[in-house]
């Protein structure tokens, strides 16, 4: 190692991944897509491929056990990985789960974690087939790998969006972020005075969005039934703006999205406003909704039109046209990808 010292925040999460992996070249003909999409694509036959995705959750960074029940955490750890397989238009089939635990946790706590993992395995129809267990000096870490499958002609990459394609978001956005704000506020209230009970009434939806996100395996099924193969797709883990940037960068295109089209649930909007937050900003820059963002050819519009799970939020433009959010007055605001940068506070 040289004397030079570069701080992680100078590169950011994505810059760091690019930097560390740029000298790697794939040697295997079966490695059809390596680093850079939601899952790797491994092809052993000309018809079908295996999809692999991995994600790690760290106590104090990705979750806080003060308000995250272990059962929900187990569920979420699986959901976020299945979501990455969905983002390739694939179906997850197996998972492995590795945990590092400190002696702070009794067996009963880990049983709860695994109750959640089992519930997710049932919901998402995947089998737990392995993992690793080790000790940690402080805190809990969970790393999950999901393995899935897709026909080669329907695998959807971040890179396939074309000018004039429609941009579609599933479900609604911003709820997980607003749910987190609510949990953080109640945590602070509790820390200041343990006698005050948390006030979470009437916020079931956004709490569920934060604590028990769902991977959209249903959307993958609908797309198949509707005979729609998206031209590109990504899951919305870091906020809509960040994911739009990934699709535009990989596809070498620009886009226009319309703020009044962005699907936001009423409870999300109302709670955001209570927190003095703009609901659109929560959808754009909040994280962890685990919805899907995809593009379709205009020819497929009739097939998804009126579908309650899918909202057209804009369209793809030429790269030179940039990436813009059009507000209700028609003003064009350049999109900023804030998303989550794990190395910045
Ligand atoms: P996602 O948000 O969909 O989980 P990430 O942003 O975590 O994706 O990762 C982007 C890409 O970089 C993925 O292909 C992932 O497998 C790869 N990647 C992330 N971290 C590393 C690493 N430390 N070494 C090699 N590849 C990595
Ligand atoms: Mg992803």
Mean pLDDT of the chain: 94
Query: Architecture of domain 166-334 in CATH?
Result: Alpha-Beta Complex (3.90)
Q: Is the CB of 288 under 6 A from ligand 1?
A: no
Q: Which residue's alpha carbon is nearest to atom 1 within ligand 1? A: 38
Q: Is the pLDDT of residue 226 over 90?
A: yes
Give me ligand 1 centre to Cα 215, in Å.
Answer: 18
Euclidean distance between CA atoms 294 and 158, whole angstroms = 9
What percent of the chain shows pLDDT beyond 70?
97
Q: What is the pLDDT of residue 245?
A: 96
Handedness of CA 71, 76, 78, 79 (dihedral sign): positive
Tell me the average pLDDT across 161-174: 98
Give me ligand 2 centre to Cα 235, in Å.
Answer: 5
Give the pLDDT band of residue 13 (cuts 50, 70, 90): confident
Q: Of the residues 12, 13, 17, which should be mutated to test ligand 1's pocket, given the most ligand atoms within 8 Å of the CB? A: 17
DSSP string, 57-113: EEBTTTB-TTTS-HHHHHHHHHHHHHHHHHTTT-EEEEEEEEEEE-TTS-HHHHHHH
Q: Is the CB of 31 under 6 A from ligand 1?
A: no
Q: What is the pLDDT of residue 2?
A: 64
Q: Is the CB of 125 under 6 A from ligand 1?
A: no
Q: What is the pLDDT of residue 1?
A: 60
Q: Kindly report, residue by residue over 78-113, the tens digit of the pLDDT.
A: 999 999 999 999 999 999 999 999 999 999 999 999
Q: Is the CB of 243 under 6 A from ligand 1?
A: no
For the chain, give every domain's residue range. Answer: 41-151, 166-334
Tell me the average pLDDT across 236-246: 96
Q: Kindly report, residue by residue over 184-210, the tens digit of the pLDDT.
A: 998 888 888 878 777 778 899 999 999
Q: What are phi and psi of 323, to 5 degrees?
A: -125, 115
Q: Kindly report, residue by residue over 307-333, the tens digit of the pLDDT.
A: 999 999 999 999 999 999 999 999 999
What percent of the chain shows pLDDT beyond 90?
88
Q: What is the pLDDT of residue 29?
A: 95
Q: Is the CB of 237 under 6 A from ligand 1?
A: yes
Q: Is the CB of 12 under 6 A from ligand 1?
A: no
pTM as predicted = 0.94
Q: Is the pLDDT of residue 343 over 60?
A: no
Give me ligand 2 centre to Cα 290, in Å.
Answer: 8
Higher pLDDT, 7 or 342: 7
Q: Is the CB of 38 under 6 A from ligand 1?
A: yes
Q: Which residue's alpha carbon is nearest to atom 9 within ligand 1? A: 36
Q: What are phi and psi of 147, to 5 degrees?
A: -120, 130
Give the pLDDT band of residue 345 (cuts 50, 70, 90): very low
Q: What is the pLDDT of residue 115?
A: 97
Q: Kindly report, residue by residue over 20-56, the tens digit of the pLDDT.
A: 999 999 999 999 999 999 999 999 999 999 999 999 9
CATH H superfamily, domain 41-151: PurM-like, N-terminal domain (3.30.1330.10)
Euclidean distance between CA atoms 215 and 82, whole angstroms = 6
Give me ligand 2 centre to Cα 204, in Å.
Answer: 26
Q: Is the pLDDT of residue 249 over 50?
A: yes
Q: Is the pLDDT of residue 142 over 80?
A: yes
Q: Is the pLDDT of residue 340 over 60?
A: no
């Amino acid at each position: 190692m040289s004397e030079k010292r570069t701080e992680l925040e100078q590169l950011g999460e994505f810059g760091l991944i690019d930097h560390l992996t740029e000298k790697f070249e794939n040697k295997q003909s079966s490695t059809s897509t390596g680093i850079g999409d939601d899952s790797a694509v491994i092809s052993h036959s000309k018809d079908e491929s295996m999809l692999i995705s991995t994600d790690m959750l760290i106590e104090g960074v990705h979750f806080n056990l003060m308000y995250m029940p272990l059962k929900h955490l187990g569920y979420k750890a699986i959901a976020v990985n299945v979501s990455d397989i969905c983002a390739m238009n694939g179906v997850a089939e197996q998972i492995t789960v590795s945990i590092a635990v400190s002696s702070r946790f009794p067996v009963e706590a880990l049983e709860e974690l695994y109750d959640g993992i089992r519930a997710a395995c049932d919901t998402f129809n995947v089998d737990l087939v392995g993992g690793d267990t080790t000790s940690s000096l402080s805190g809990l870490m969970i790393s999950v790998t999901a393995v899935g499958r897709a026909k080669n002609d329907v695998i959807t990459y971040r890179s396939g969006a074309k000018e004039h394609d429609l941009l579609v978001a599933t479900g609604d956005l911003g709820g997980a972020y607003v749910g987190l704000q609510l949990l953080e506020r109640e945590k602070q209230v509790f820390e200041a005075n343990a006698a005050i009970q948390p006030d979470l009434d009437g916020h079931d939806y956004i709490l569920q969005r934060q604590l028990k996100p769902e991977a959209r395996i249903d959307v993958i099924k609908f797309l198949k039934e509707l005979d729609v193969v998206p031209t590109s797709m990504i899951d919305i883990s870091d906020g809509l703006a960040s994911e739009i940037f990934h699709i535009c960068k990989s596809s070498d295109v620009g886009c226009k999205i319309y703020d009044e089209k962005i699907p936001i649930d009423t409870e999300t909007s109302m709670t955001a406003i209570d927190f003095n937050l703009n609901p659109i900003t929560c959808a754009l820059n909040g994280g962890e909704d685990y919805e899907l963002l995809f593009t379709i050819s205009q020819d497929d519009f009739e097939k998804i039109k009126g579908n309650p799970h899918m909202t057209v939020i804009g369209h793809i433009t030429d790269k030179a046209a940039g990436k813009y959010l059009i507000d209700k007055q028609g003003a064009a605001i350049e999109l900023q990808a804030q998303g989550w940068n794990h190395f910045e506070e």
